[in-house]
Each structure stands twice: as structure tokens, then as C-alpha cells.
């Protein structure tokens, strides 16, 4: 008997550009033309993300063109799929 794993469909999303539009809030544009406006305040907790509560650190965000996602100087980042589908994932991050 041969068991085969069912392949899950997983789209790869990439952030093309972003803009800081308010405190802890970014507008992101993705390669598929979609956009997300994200207020990150509710998820800035824990060892990796708590340092981003300092607005100067948060505003040091950069786009990693190799990974197609946002990164911060302390190594914090988000999976581009999470950013693309933020309303779906936001509740699980808090």
C-alpha cells in the first residue's frame, strides 16, 4: 500500500513596498497588487517584538528584497503570507 501526502496549496507572497502612515502603522503593497494597512501595536509583545514598542526602533523597518518581507534591526520579521492575509492571522498573534 502506498500512502501519498496531499499537497497543500500555499501561495508565495512578497511585499514590494511599504509606507509608514502612522505610529506603528504601515501600508504594504504586494506583488499581486493587493494592499494591507496594518496597525502592529497589538502584536508588539514578547522577546522579539516588544523592542518594536520603541517607535524609533519600529520606524527603522526595512524591506528585505530577497525575502520579500519587512525586517527590523533586532531581527524581527513577519512571514509575507501573514502580512498579506493579516485579518486572518492577526487574532492568533495577540
Q: Model confidence over 39-94: pLDDT tens digits?
A: 999 999 999 999 999 999 999 999 999 999 999 999 999 999 999 999 887 776 65
Domain at 15-93, CATH class: alpha beta
pTM: 0.83
**26-60 burial, b for 16+ CB within 10 Å, e for fewer?**
bebebeeeeebebebeebbeeeebebbeeeebbee
Does residue 58 or residue 7 have the better pLDDT?
A: 58
- Answer yes or no: is pLDDT of 38 > 90: yes
- Candidates 6, 2, 7, 30; CA nearest to 18 is 30
What are the boundaries of each domain within the chain?
Answer: 15-93
Does residue 6 have a pLDDT over 50? Answer: no
pLDDT band at 29 (very low <50, low <70, confident <90, very high): very high
pLDDT at 7: 47
Amino acid at each position: 500500500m502506498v500512502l501519498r501526502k496531499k499537497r497543500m496549496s500555499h501561495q508565495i507572497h512578497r511585499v514590494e513596498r511599504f509606507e509608514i502612515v502612522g505610529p506603528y502603522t504601515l501600508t504594504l503593497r504586494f506583488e499581486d497588487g493587493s494592499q494591507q494597512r496594518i496597525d502592529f501595536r497589538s502584536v508588539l509583545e514578547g522577546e522579539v517584538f516588544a523592542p518594536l514598542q520603541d517607535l524609533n526602533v519600529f520606524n527603522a523597518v526595512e524591506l528585505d528584497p530577497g525575502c520579500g518581507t519587512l525586517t527590523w534591526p533586532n531581527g524581527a520579521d513577519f512571514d509575507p503570507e501573514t502580512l498579506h492575509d493579516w485579518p486572518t492571522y492577526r487574532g492568533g498573534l495577540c
